[in-house]
Chain A
Amino acid sequence: MRVRLSFDVKINFILGLGLAILVAVGTLAYRSIDELVDASRYEGAALIQISRLEAFMAQVKRIESAQRKYLLTGAASDLSVFRAARLEAGMDIRGMAGVIETLDQRRILRELERLAEERMRRLDATADVRARLGLDAATRQISATAAESLNREMDSLAEQFRARTLRSLRVRQEDTTLSAGTTGFLIAWGIVFALTLLVWAMVVIHRHQARRRAAELALRASEMQLRLITDAVPALIGYADREGRMQFHNKPFERWLARPAERLRGFTLRNLLGSETYDRIEPHIAHVLAGQPAQFEFPFSSDGDRAAHFSAQLVPREDAQGGVIGFYLLITDITALKEVDRMKSEFVSTVSHELRTPLTSIRGSLGLIAAGVTGVLPDKARQLVAIAVENCERLVRLVNDILDTERMASGKMDMKFEVIELGKLVERSIVANEGFAATHGARVGFDAGPQQLLVRVDQDRLVQVVINLLSNACKFSAPGGRVDVAIIRRDKWARLSVSDNGPGVPVNFRAQLFERFARSDSSDARRAGGTGLGLSICRGIIERFGGTIAFEERPGGGSTFYFEIPIAEQA
């Protein structure tokens, strides 16, 4: 697998490597210069050594010469010259010791010093003989000593010292030359390598810049495409900062407000929409600036003539720290939808009314005939009229349910909320359903629970839900079956359950049980004669109460339908 390194990794690697090379080359150069300085210092010291040695040897010669002169003249002044030269020779020998480096040289020097001292001692002894016994005695003393051989020995040592010092100097110079050559070689390669890195860095930077230019072009193209899309969308799309100033908008925004782009960007929503509209939507803007999405509808007339309705969605935009820095606006014109909605409501209402009128005649006529008000019917006729009555009732329920469903969908189902005792409402519902339960031969049992639970609901609508659940349970119970109604408290929720011992809900139907026009394909359900809207309406009502409705299988067969609604504070 080929790993593609990022620009930052590459450039940091190159710079790091280049820096390491520079440090290495600098260190080498420093060491090389240091060695050259040392070599130069050593060369100077070596030359000083040789020079001092030669000076010492010359001094010995001068002492010998001064002694000989004194031996010949016997003058006190010559003796003084001899003795001064003698003292000076001893100092020079000591001064030389400071620049001696090798043991061998030290040995030679010590030997030379010893010989020199021996020589001086002999010179002193001869001078002393001259002073005490005269020239002849001194001449005999000179011949009795091996002065010549001592001088040769000293010369030989001096030559050895000079030769070794010069050889050591040559070796040091050769080492320094070699080291300087190696350093030069490394510095040259370091520079070559550094230049290679420099070229590499330039290539990397060039490629990076090329990629960035390509990315910028792609981004620009993408922005252009996004701009085309947002301009083509039949909705107003915009972005405003925390102060409500427009920072982005699409073309429809310009058309909506009849303003060119330069008179939109940077302008506040209050300025663009006017104070009246802005005051109406300001709570929603405060909501989105608090970090929560907002959705609302508002009327607005951009030309001061035709009032239109708009739906707005505001979505907060957050920075890396989670603070809201602005919000996106999506505004759509829903005037036509509103009109369609109104027409639909009107249509449903009209159709419902127009259906109810003939149903009133049919239901009334059949009811009177079935009850025998108009005379006793033959058995077969009574059976047929009963079928007609039952289906007429079903049609009435369907019309009612359609009306409820439409009102719920359009949000027009008004609720009269009040705090009531749930148990009493359930008792009332059971009583109202007694006739229906008897028709299906179902017995209803009720467990109100140990405590009274207060709930805040619309009584009529909750009765509608309870009766719906009860009638369903009665319909689907086996003949002579039992329906159990129970209220229990679950934390802050009141739960009402209605259980039957019927066939249960088919598995493939459970997912859409609470959907509109949900009908099981089972023959039992068909025979039960539901409208397919009852549970959907129940769910809508219970959700309006802030609760939930659900279903579960009953152990041993049957179903339990239940809802949970919040327990109200004591009224």
Chain B
Amino acid sequence: MCLLKNFLIGSMLFCGLQITAQTIEVCNGCPVSSLKAAIKMAQAGDTILVKRGTYKEYNIVVDKPLTIKGENFPVIDGEDQGEIIRIVSDHVTIDGLFIVNVGTSYTSDHAAIRVVRSEHFLIQHVVLEKLFFGIYIEKSNHGKIYHNTIIGDAQDEYNSGNGIQLWYSKHVVVEKNNVQKVRDGIYLEFSDNITINENTSTNNLRYGLHFMFSNDDLYTNNTFENNGAGVAVMFSKRIKMLNNTFKKNWGTAAFGLLLKEINDAEIKGNVFEENTVAINIEGSNRVVYSGNDFISNGYAIKVLGACYTNTFEKNNFLYNSFDVSYHSKINDTIFQHNYWSSYTGYDLDKDGVGDVPYRPVKLFSYIVNKTPETIILMRSLFIDIIDFSEKVSPVFTPDNLLDMTPHIKRYK
């Protein structure tokens, strides 16, 4: 009896929700002309349809499960006053808005859309311009950030914010976003089980993607181009980086990918093209690098130290100024089955594997590490001669750093 009563009440409540779920239209000439008023009127589960127009509003708090949908990209103009939308309820969807003029502050991180302690949020097809922080997810789980465009106008690091920032959030999917000209394109801190997929992060002031203390994350098929310092992955465990493209991250301090204190990561099938340093590795253990293409970088791999049990296999090293630069002991790191464009050995038994081991560290890269100014002698005949003599009988470069099985043909 009790059970039946519960069921009845439950189904009635459910039906009630179904019946009252309605659509509230917001437009400049409508009875409801502001987003704030619409949210105040709305019941949980309602849809707010924002028509085309400009709405000068800020500090909009979404405190019930609503779907806010923009038609033909209505403009929400924050007039540089502060935060624009704050989501504090579960099951909120924001779709198709054009949000501009987020206020810059030196004391609080104003965001265009901030999600606070909420679950199952969905932010999609949103366009953000003239922003401080873009989409800021704070202690919120199981959400999706899909197909947004964020175009900032950041000039200096100290007074600009990040495009998409995740802080203490878990199980969030970030997909098909386009982030440009902010401080960090996508920033993760203490966020686990995040999937970052098919995003494009370009022309950012600092990093295209920045990881801090975030474990078990996956990022695939992203493109990071022309960022101030490439992509930084720091203090994180079990990260998978697959099929991403790191391009043209060059400048005085630029890396394609910066790894610091990374354990048990997988870096596979990525393309590194024309970066000052393709991968800069520091204190990273048990990382597998395989099937990556390193094309025309200054340094393909630069290892600074404290790295144990890393494996580099089946990568293509094509026309890099320096293939590998090693600042420490080799520490059971393995190079095997890679293709090196500057390999000069032969393959007499025709098994596709060179008969002479390849030494990826040149004497000149050792010298450049010690005295950076010597880079001015690059490609001089004298350098070629000493490189050759070092290749024949290594004295300065670590003599056990070699690829015993260099591949003869490039991997497709």
**A pairs with B:** no
